[in-house]
A and B are shown apart, each in its own frame.
Chain A
Amino acid sequence: MDKLIDLGKYIEQGINVLEESLSGLWGAIDDVISWTVEFLNDTFLAIPFVVIIALVTFGAYYANAGKLAFKKEGLKKGAGLALFVVLGLLLIWAMGYWKEAIQTTTLVIVATIIALLFGIPLGIWAARSNTANAIIRPILDLMQTMPAFVYLIPAIFFFSVGNTPGVIATVIFSLPPAVRLTSLGIRNVPEDVIEAGHAFGATDKQILFKIQLPLAKTTILAGINQVILLALSMVVIASMVGAKGLGAIVYQGIQQNDIAKGFESGLGIVVLAIILDRITQAVAKK
């Protein structure tokens, strides 16, 4: 079939130029991400799994129970999730996927932090400037509707295979809710409160940090929760470019037509997802 416009070719050429002209930058990014992921993996794996399970369980309990943690009322609130965390993590360990679960969690943590580092400032910018909003919104739409697999191709191109392209593709995929919900949260701050701030001589910075961000906190935390869950859901796809973890096992299961493997690792991801979701939601409610 003849093409009238060879759009793909131009994009390819553009990416080629980017790759060659900024190769130093890509190398540096690769180094930083690889090193961070390795370092976190090694650290977590060096800690006995029992300790980690205990810490996560207490974290989950505390997130729900809060100040009541050491009272009877707290037990009612937090015990359910704590029990689930213990059983879920023990199941992952017993199935023999502890290492992979740690690798997956590390990828999610690193990708989430990077996504928030870019997403929240972009969200603030989009909330404060209509021009910025007009530019950012269509890009976010594009990022969210583009099939996630497509991000893998340039990611490999810039960073070859391994954890880094996985993290980068995950960041791109999970970034939009951080931007959108930060912007939404700030835009929803009532005008009268902002006006009061101005009337009392608040600078733009004071308006942002003392009024807008605190009032947008719940919405922003909901955005963070979304980022984490999207990152986790991207982990399986990222394994196709060599990211390690539970996703890689799922991928193996597909390739080897191994139902047992696929199901076990899939279940592991579900457990992680539920734990991360419930903990972040509990934090957001405060």
Chain B
Amino acid sequence: MSDNRKTKIKVEDLTLIFGKRKQEALKLLEQGVSKEEILKKTKCTVGVNRASFEIKEGEVFVIMGLSGSGKSTLIRCLNRLNEPTAGKVFFDDHDITRDTNKELLETRRTEMSMVFQKFGLLPHRTILENAGFGLELRGEEKTTRDERAKTALETVGLRGYEAQYPAELSGGMQQRVGLARALANDPEVLLMDEAFSALDPLIKSDMQDELLEIQDKLHKTIVFITHDLDEAIKIGDRIAIMKDGVVEQIGTAEDILTNPASEYVEAFVEKVDRKTIITAETLMFKKHTALEVHKDGPKGAVRKMRSIAVDQLPVINEHKKFLGHVWLQDVFELEKEQEKSIEKVINTNVPSVYRHYTVEEMLPLITGIRHPLAVIEEETGKFLGLVTQTSLIIEATRFEKKEVIKLKEQANEL
């Protein structure tokens, strides 16, 4: 992270309290009274508790927390959809908490755009009209806004859908329209509130990739809210973790994974992390050498194994479907027998995993075997890559040593 970039958004001691006796609650909060006490005494809920942070220009800043942690409330303070009770929010040098209503409208129209979890599209308008809605609100001419909406739709890959209506599009495509609407305004800041949380996992992953691609081109300052650590790590330059309205830690993904600042963060990282972050897909060696049963005879197999110094290799057929493993010693037998095909010695009784398998799910599979796990595609059985035992154990030891020790013991017993 180069820190000589300009600060785009600066949040200072931002506090938001829901309820009627806000000022009273605020005083108690400043005296260090707990959230629960305040609720008891004043019937006010503390949504955001003295949050402070700075976001650099062009940075993707992720605010992560479980539901009820105050992250959505916090992002709504940045454009004052929620009115902060105390504290300041600066965009460059402009404190938006002091904006009059009219100035606030202008700020919302020009400086920032928001993308919503539930899309928030207008069902009675076409995709083009939806994408140009922000421009329409600020009074742009129809020709200008159609032109810019079209460009924005192209950016998000929705060319050709201009005349359709939101109900005719899938969830992922609707959110692309939401994103296009935000981009059409050409704001410097994008506020994305759980923008991809309502999408199914594959589409979600596509949208994340697409957002990163768009970001590479446009260099917006993005504030992204999510409850998904996986997503936070993938798209965030820095991550802020929130709990009970308090920002517990701010840092890069690595900072947070290696030095959790509090027990809460640690628990988050430990529990959510192990299951969701490290999957077969991230661990595997892609495009690993494999034997092709229709091409490689015993001689070819030996050559391939020697060239990368292994004593076994996965075998695939002409459709790249994973068949099993072949061991060097078996191939030698074949060579002696002058066999032409390795088909006979393929050991099909070996475990294989899908790309979404986690470390935890894979660990039990490697007990009792001494070769890597093949990763295959769920629908087609296509061979994708290999996860070696070493990388599994390394991944596992980073988080919990006990388990690896146990594994080793098990291995020794065998």
Query: Are A200 and B134 touching (Cβ within 8 A)?
Result: yes
Considering only residues 174-200 of chain A, those with a C-beta below 8 Å from chain B are: 190, 192-193, 195-200
Bound Cα distance from A202 to B122, whole angstroms? 14
Query: Are B124 and A215 touching (Cβ within 8 A)?
Result: yes
CB-contact partner of A195 in B81, B105, B121, under 8 A: B81
CB-contact partner of A201 in B117, B121, B138, under 8 A: B138
Contacts of A196 in B (CB 8 A): 114, 116, 120-121
Give the Cβ gap from B346 to chain A, nearest Cβ, in Å.
55
Contacts of B191 in A (CB 8 A): 199
Query: Are B124 and A200 touching (Cβ within 8 A)?
Result: no
Name A's interface SS. helix
A192 and B108 in contact, given A198-B81, A199-B79, A201-B138 (Cβ under 8 angstroms) = no
Bound Cα distance from A217 to B119, whole angstroms? 21
**Residue on B nearest A194 in the bound complex, by CB:** B120
On chain A, which size bracket covers the interface? 10 to 19
Please, what's the 1-or-0 string for B99-142, where 1 marks a CB less than 8 Å from any CB in chain A? Answer: 00000111111100110111111111000000001101110000
Give the Cβ gap from A25 to chain B, nearest Cβ, in Å.
38
Contacts of A215 in B (CB 8 A): 122-124
Query: Are B113 and A200 touching (Cβ within 8 A)?
Result: yes
CB-contact partner of A197 in B106, B110, B137, B138, under 8 A: B137
Contacts of B104 in A (CB 8 A): 201
Give the Cβ gap from A167 to chain B, nearest Cβ, in Å.
34
Bound Cα distance from A82 to B343, whole angstroms? 77
Considering only residues 202-227 of chain A, those with a C-beta below 8 Å from chain B are: 202-203, 206, 210-211, 214-215, 217
Contacts of B110 in A (CB 8 A): 201
Q: Does B358 contact A (CB under 8 A)?
A: no
A200 and B185 in contact, given A192-B116, A195-B81, A195-B116 (Cβ under 8 angstroms) = yes
CB-contact partner of B124 in A199, A201, A214, under 8 A: A214
Contacts of B137 in A (CB 8 A): 197, 200-202, 206, 210
Query: Are B120 and A193 touching (Cβ within 8 A)?
Result: yes
Contacts of A211 in B (CB 8 A): 122
Bound Cα distance from A214 to B121, whole angstroms? 13
A-B contact pairs, 20 of them (CB 8 A): A190-B120, A192-B116, A192-B117, A192-B118, A193-B120, A195-B81, A195-B116, A196-B120, A198-B81, A199-B79, A199-B108, A200-B133, A200-B181, A201-B104, A201-B110, A201-B137, A202-B137, A210-B122, A210-B133, A215-B122
Additional pairs, 11, CB under 8 Å, beyond known A196-B114, A201-B108: A192-B120, A198-B81, A199-B191, A200-B113, A200-B133, A200-B185, A201-B105, A210-B122, A210-B133, A214-B124, A217-B124
Residues of A within 8 A of B (CB): 190, 192-193, 195-203, 206, 210-211, 214-215, 217
